[in-house]
Structure 1
């Protein structure tokens, strides 16, 4: 066990873009469907700036505002089906996740904006579910998604941990904001980011106390933060 790893009672992990390399897949599938319904001007950058880190339902409201009309009733199911097909071929855990988490032998859980069933399915596909099961929590289980703190507070309550004794790892600004609003310490992760320098600055500005770019550095960072 890494020295200092138990200074926090619980480490909470976001999933998409933090444990799994999925954000680009969601973006490409979502953009293709957006173009089908008439939102032709959006780019992958628009997707990342507006939708990454928040629940799909909240993202759909942003898309509808840009489109100027409601989305088709089957829009979400088509996104999930398209992503599932891609994930079955392409999903992978980010490099070094398992090794780092095994080294950090403290308590851990997942708290994600992804709905619970696909969340568990994706973790299973990537070979990570056993590291967390049954402690996998979703914004679909609470009233409000990130950047509201609900899912993190729900996870802490389920795990019987005090928020101030929780450390969160997040790759998105809404996720960092949610963890901060929950009264938790939060570190940023840029391992899946396309513009790492820019995302690092955005995560720090949102309230992350540190940013790591690879999982090899995570156990040491947990120890450092726990000793601070």
Structure 2
């Protein structure tokens, strides 16, 4: 089954931003008297929006945040994420891929542009950058909608698209869309059991280095999904 499209998540796949976001959120929750480590945030909530994280913690722990909480966290995130590093090997990996490609992310477009320009990736993807909450149904991952939107934009059947994702929620969303899914554990937010959790969520294989991805793409073109 030949592949026709490569879809990348951004945070934790192209740029090493997941741990930065988790550190900021941990600090801001601590200011409210709620202690949760950056590692736990990354492990449990990577791939989710801050609004959804707040909702979950409200349901689980009765956490209530001030009206300006999300805006304050986003403001601090803009400052720190403007200096985020690229994931090692990202440019070389892209140089080795010939298929059409795009980004499907739960981050907003202004944040994606901020980070991607900083690491010289913006022009390697635009205009094919799809923030889940700004396109189509505007439903974020773990809903499959943004992946289905990208496939429609390219005129590609989901089973002919391969997705690289670092989060359980992102993998589950891509799998639900019917795409082939590869898990990635090369970001600084990776943790013990990360690869297993991605596999359990629907990843067909998991890689730790971006340099391994082109070979996986080639193999998947001839590898029938079980």
| Length-normalised TM-score, structure 2 | 0.91
> Structure 2 regions of 5+ residues with no counterpart?
none
**Partners of 1:193 and 1:199 within 8 A in 2:** no
- The 5 A counterparts of 1:1-228 are 7-39=2-34, 41-89=35-83, 91-141=84-134, 142-195=137-190, 198-228=193-223
Distance 2:96 2:204 in 1: 22
**Partners of 2:26 and 2:38 within 8 A in 1:** yes
> Structure 1 regions of 5+ residues with no counterpart?
1-5
Describe the superposition over 1:35-76 as per-residue Cα deviations: whole angstroms up to 9, x where unpaired. Answer: 11221x211232123321112221121233345243222222
Describe the superposition over 1:70-91 as per-residue Cα deviations: whole angstroms up to 9, x where unpaired. Answer: 32222222112212211233x1
**Partners of 2:19 and 2:188 within 8 A in 1:** no
Distance 1:215 1:143 in 2: 29
The Cα RMSD (Å) is: 1.7
Distance 1:92 1:217 in 2: 20
SS in 2 for 1:109: strand
**Partners of 1:137 and 1:151 within 8 A in 2:** yes
Q: Which has the higher helix share?
A: 1
SS in 2 for 1:92: coil
| Length-normalised TM-score, structure 1 | 0.91
Residues 15 and 195 of structure 1: is their aligned pair in 2 closer, same or farther, counting only changes over 3 Å?
A: closer
Describe the superposition over 1:158-215 as per-residue Cα deviations: whole angstroms up to 9, x where unpaired. Answer: 2222111110000011111000100110000010155555111111111111111111
> How many residues of Structure 1 are paired with residues of Structure 2 in the alignment?
221
